[in-house]
Amino acid sequence: MIIKNSFLIFKNDFKHRTWLDWIQSQIMLAPPPFRFKGAVTFDANGITFVGYDIFHDEEVQFNIPKNEMKQLYYGYDDTFRRLKSKGMDNTWAPIRFKFAHENDLYLISEFNGIYSANEELFEELKMWLS
């Protein structure tokens, strides 16, 4: 399964966000908080991301093995809070991958400024992880 329009941010990345980045994420129709934008592939081996890293201003690719994933959540938490995403919590919420190393990954898929495909994707990912 390939999700082409994806926004990702790791838990540790939130402490490196700039004031301008925070302001931009509060504007209606602007993207949610993110570090990486690109395509995410989910296959039998795990997650592969290919896209752009805005923190380092470069193209990147990385893989996360499926066996490193411990849990999957849909919704906000203490790190990715509703207030960090312009209050659009009634139309979308992040998907969170929890790992043993505690640097959770947040995913927002197919975001169009108001909605995302996260609710549907979450159901597919639950089956993918089982």
Q: Where are the domains of the chain?
A: 2-129
Residue 87: the pLDDT is 47
3-state secondary structure of 107: strand
Task: Judge whether residue 111 has pLDDT over 60.
Answer: yes
Task: Judge whether residue 84 has pLDDT over 60.
Answer: no
Q: Among residues 110, 106, 115, which one has the least CA distance to residue 81?
A: 106
- Mean pLDDT, rounded, for 52-72: 94
| pTM recorded for the entire structure | 0.87
Residue 92: the pLDDT is 84
Q: How far, in Å, CA of 14 to CA of 35, rounded? A: 9
Least confident residue range of 12-26, 49-63, 95-109:
12-26
Q: How far, in Å, CA of 126 to CA of 31, rounded? A: 25
> For residue 69, what are the contacts with CB-CB under 8 A and spacing of at least 6?
46, 97, 98, 99, 129
Which position has the token pair 């329009």? 5
Model confidence at 64, in pLDDT bands (50, 70, 90)? very high
Mean pLDDT of the chain: 87
Question: Which sign, positive or negative, has the C-alpha torsion 60, 66, 69, 71?
Answer: positive
Fold adopted by 2-129: PH-domain like (2.30.29)
- Mean pLDDT, rounded, for 89-113: 87
The residue ranking higher by pLDDT, 86 or 116, is 116
Task: Judge whether residue 40 has pLDDT over 60.
Answer: yes
